[in-house]
Amino acid sequence: MINFRDKNLIPIWEKVQRGNELTFEDGIALFNSHDVISIGKMAHWLQREKNGDAVYFVVNQKIEPTNICVLSCKFCDFAVKKNSPDAYEMTIESILEKLNPELLEVHITGGLHPDWEWDYYVGMVKEIKNHFPRIDVKAFTAVEIDFFSKKFKKSIEEVLLELKEAGLRTLPGGGAEVFSERVRRLLFNQKIGAKRWLEIHKKAHQLGLRSNATLLYGHIETIEERVNHLLLLRDLQKETNGFLSFIPLAFQPGETGIKPRNQFTSAIDDLKTIAISRLILNNFDHIKAYWVMLTEELAAVALNFGADDMDGTVGGERIAHDAGAVSPMQLAKNKLIKIINDANKIPVERDIFYKPVKLHSKNVIGRVSYLNTLPFFKYLDNREYKIFPAPPRQLGFLFKDGNIDAGIVSLVDYFDKENDFTFLPYGIVGNKNVKSVILYSKFPIEDLNKKNIAVTDETSTSFRLLQVLLEMKYGFDVVYIREKISAREKILPNFDAFLTIGDDALKFIKNKPEDFVYSYDLAQLWFDWKKLPFVFAVWAVKKDLPQNKIEVLNKLLDDSLNKFFSTKNNIEEFYTAKLNLNKKEIEDYLNNITYRLGEEEIKSINLFREYYSKLKSKELMVEKF
């Protein structure tokens, strides 16, 4: 419940709750409103719908190979000309000296050097991956990619493909500044504008490279230009689904003369911009509170204003600090963890693609991040716990590493940790069919022998069930390849069949791929074979938790299920917009699932355990990313 002081925000809040896109006029109304707390509460609600209590960070290193630049942008205090006494250049060897095996990401941006050859840039990426294969490379803004294209007479596609082959994984979002031709002419007329920036990121997404997006605000831009910038990013995300995160960057005045050196953006402007970005960019998964420019104190507040990422340790950052940023040059990992925990959030150490590596918090409940877990969580009184949502496979890794105290976890992941965990009498059960674990095929299932099958990278148990069915029921020899399968993608994997699960499987109901004319519900196949329901996930708890805590959680789950299925009209329009299903279709789907484990379900669990034990010694699949 939000107590709005600005009643003009109520229609906007209703749109947010329904999952509708906000308009240009909505964005202007938000920026003009003085009801900052209500704006923050709206953004925080949307943030928690997407990411629960998770706040992400990465152990990373910033590398700026040179400050020598052919451009002369008015807002930049970093770049210098070649003959400047402050000029510097880094060799590949000196770059490698700044890296270490503990890092998961290196972020590379810098000046546009007039003399360096193309081989230097390709070699830089290649040598980083050769020496530190664990480190993912995020490098070169769209401005740099455009510069490479022109200087070395290569197409944008050629530049990106050669860097990708060398080991580039993502592009940073820098160089976007603000998408305004007026501002570009006044502040960075030598730099690319909106059209070229968006074109480069679109091409990167088409080539399988993910990227980030930014907005530089707090200089001479108008509120209208800020909102237009966000809408252009949202439109490209709808087309490509290639952006990982959005980072609002507060302008650092420095000695630019654009603003007095000590005239930073206000805390109110920073928090509003983050919150409004979260509300407008509803198709972005992550919004960053970039502590380097915000300060760590304000970034902590932003975690309740729509932000769910604090970037990382950011060792070696110079560009913002040369412009007067007041944050410490490197925020220690332990301090970053403390900031997030103090905000009552879960510090999630991640990789470059936001896959969780480690949770640095206690009392964490894991939630499979699909609609089918809603009956457990809609009315769950979780004051003693923090909720971490993730797809089954990601959650399984954390579960097996001891990062989670309790939660709804994939059945095979529970099998692997039975010595440490026990399960409560609850789960996700396909009763004859489940409707959200579907194999789409170009051939009848009887003809899939020797075929190639793509498997979503989110699955743990569903993949193993597919293996059991194809190999033990039909006796097939099949090649499985993990793919990032999503109903949002324009082009589906070019395989003979593919397995999709969870919310994506529900989205395919009304978007069935034309070439894949056959579809099979895996729970139905299991039932037809064994005449038993199939248990995809169970509620597991650590055996060493105090018995009273286990009993309390058991009671909370029972109460939550009873309340959910006895309450009418409990499906928010947010989910209908997200899944393109109406309320009746969602209710029918949830009512079809069994959430309590009885004798038949336990019998099915034990039977599948026997099959799973026979598969464990077999190579899982070809990993392809």
Give DSSP secondary structure letters for 123-134. HHHHHHHHH-TT
Distance CA 430, CA 533 (A): 6
Angle between helices 156-166 and 142-151 (to 10 degrees): 110
pLDDT band at residue 313 using 50, 70 and 90 as cut-offs: confident
Q: For the residues 604-610, what does the mean pLDDT come to?
A: 97
Residue pLDDT, tens place only, 68-127: 887 665 555 556 777 788 788 999 999 999 998 889 999 999 888 888 999 999 999 999
Sorted by where each starts, the structural domains of the chain and their CATH numbers stand as: 7-357 (3.20.20.70), 361-429+535-579 (3.40.190.10)
Q: For the residues 529-539, what does the mean pLDDT come to?
A: 97
Burial track 593-606 (b if 16+ CB lie within 10 A, e otherwise): bbbebeeebeebbe
Task: Please give the share of the chain, as a percent, with pLDDT higher than 70.
Answer: 91
* 108 Cβ neighbours under 8 A, 6+ residues apart: 62, 63, 64, 65, 124, 137, 138, 139, 140
pLDDT at 446 over 90: yes
3-state secondary structure 240-286: HCCEEEEEEEECCCCCCCCCCCCCCCCHHHHHHHHHHHHHHCCCCCE
Give the residue, 253 or 455, on which the prediction is more confident.
455
Q: What is the pLDDT of residue 324?
A: 43
pLDDT at 592 over 80: yes
Distance CA 321, CA 108 (A): 16
Residue 349 sits at φ, ψ, to 5 deg, of -75, 130
Q: What is the pLDDT of residue 560?
A: 95
Q: What is the pLDDT of residue 336?
A: 87
Distance CA 14, CA 2 (A): 11
Pairing mode, strands 421-430 and 594-596: antiparallel
Quote the distance between the C-alpha of residue 374 and its chain's center. Answer: 20
Q: What is the pLDDT of residue 383?
A: 77
Q: What is the total residue count of the chain?
A: 625
Task: Please give the share of the chain, as a percent, with pLDDT higher than 90.
Answer: 72
pLDDT at 414 over 70: yes
Q: What is the pLDDT of residue 27?
A: 98
Residue pLDDT, tens place only, 238-250: 999 999 999 999 8
Q: What is the pLDDT of residue 325?
A: 41
Q: What is the pLDDT of residue 502?
A: 95
Distances (CA, A) of 347 to 47, 246, 334, 518: 15, 19, 10, 43
Distance CA 592, CA 432 (A): 9
Give the residue, 568 or 155, on which the prediction is more confident.
155
Q: What is the pLDDT of residue 39?
A: 98
Q: What is the pLDDT of residue 569?
A: 84
Q: For the residues 392-404, what does the mean pLDDT come to?
A: 93
**In this structure, how many other beta carbons lie within 10 angstroms of the beta carbon of residue 181?**
12
Signed CA dihedral, 456, 468, 406, 554: sign only: positive
Instruction: Classify residue 470 by burial, with Cβ atoms within 10 Å: 0-12, 13-18, 19+.
Output: buried
Q: What is the pLDDT of residue 226?
A: 97
Q: For the residues 386-402, what does the mean pLDDT come to?
A: 93
Give the residue, 82 or 153, on which the prediction is more confident.
153
pLDDT at 319 over 80: no
Distance CA 621, CA 530 (A): 26
Q: For the residues 475-491, what does the mean pLDDT come to?
A: 81
pLDDT at 556 over 80: yes
Q: Can you tell me whether residue 499 is helix, strand or coil? A: strand
3-state secondary structure 36-61: HHHHHHHHHHHHHHHHCCEEEEECEE
Q: What is the pLDDT of residue 308?
A: 97
Q: What is the pLDDT of residue 624?
A: 41
pLDDT at 67 over 60: yes
pLDDT at 492 over 80: no
pLDDT band at residue 43 using 50, 70 and 90 as cut-offs: very high
Residue 176 sits at φ, ψ, to 5 deg, of -70, -35
pLDDT at 323 over 70: no
Q: What is the pTM of this model?
A: 0.89
Burial track 182-201 (b if 16+ CB lie within 10 A, e otherwise): ebbeebbeebbbbebbbebb
Degrees, nearest 5: CA angle 585-587-590: 110
